[in-house]
Amino acid sequence: MNKKILVTGGGGFIGGHLVNFYQKKSFKVYSVDLKKKNQWFQINPKVKNIVADCRDPVVCDKITKKMDYVFNLACDMGGMGFIENNKALCMLSAVININLLKSSKKNNIKKFFYSSSACVYPSFRQRDYTKPKLKESDAYPADPEDGYGWEKLFNERMCRHFYEDFGLEVRVARFHNIYGEYGSYVGGREKAPAALARKFVEGISKNKKNIEIWSDGKQIRSFLYIDDCIKAVDMLFKSNFRNPLNIGSDKHVSINELVGILEKISNKKFIRMYDLTKPQGVMSRSSDNTLIKKVLKWSPKVKLEDGMKKIFYHIKKEIEK
């Protein structure tokens, strides 16, 4: 347990939870993020917290030195409203992973984790509401989300080739809409669960009658609670499986159904106002968990209703502060 773990993007949502998970398991954890510390979602005082820019190769050489394992969760990303309007910023995150792979090779890192996304899947496979589940082999022929999806797919290939050419052990997870406490819920980078929970909290406190829903609310998605995500990441990292692997829920709902869940949690119904000018994203996306069940014997434990209750009351508490 004296192994050293570097988590880049440690000031972010998933990264912060991962830092806490491994710190509790008595690893020596080093958390790195570009943001000033007062902008981190979580800061664990029991780990080494470093403000640094991984777009600088010299920085990557320095922070990976004497580490055993590297978890790269650093990237510019957010919900659909962000990634559709910031394609260049999203693609520039490729520099981070390239630098970290090169530095990991140089500094003899034992194992490297890369956080990819369901946005790598082709748009033509996400138009049928009756068949939303995406299996890993569906990523090709490639037609990922413009900008963010291409960056993720490219870096999946980089990880693969660093193993094939240099022997660097890599693990790649394709995250499907991870949600939970200590993430963005305002500012434009928040995803649907947090955004809708915030709208309910604000609507109730301000006695509003209406709630805004992006597009027509018929979009199909699956959402995975953060605790289930972290458990799956740890299992994948310890496994011998090197190919990209879905980490998500195979239980999908429409955005309208997600609103319905929040209505039950909050005991409040609003008039739904649909803004068709806002980004919809793909029509239908969910995780096919056949492979991860076979490889890791893993499946989600937290029901969507229970996870949404947690995030609703967390955001309510944050807003009241």
Are 46 and 19 spatial neighbours (Cβ–Cβ below 8 Å)? no
Q: Give the residue numbers marked as catalytic.
A: 148
Place of tokens 């347990």: 1
Please name each of the domains of the chain with its CATH number: 4-178+223-247 (3.40.50.720), 184-221+251-288+301-320 (3.90.25.10)
In this prediction the pTM is 0.95
Q: What is the pLDDT of residues 12-30, one digit of tens each?
A: 999 999 999 999 999 999 9
- Give residue 1's pLDDT band: very low, low, confident or very high (50, 70, 90): low
Name the least confident of 215-219, 253-257, 276-280, 304-308.
276-280
Instruction: Count CB neighbours of 66 within 10 A.
Output: 11
Q: Is the pLDDT of residue 81 over 80?
A: no
Q: Rounded to whole angstroms, how far apart are CA atoms 67 and 69?
A: 6
Are 220 and 283 spatial neighbours (Cβ–Cβ below 8 Å)? yes
Q: What is the pLDDT of residues 97-141, one digit of tens each?
A: 999 999 999 999 999 999 999 999 999 999 998 899 999 999 999
Q: What is the pLDDT of residues 288-308, one digit of tens each?
A: 999 999 999 999 999 999 999
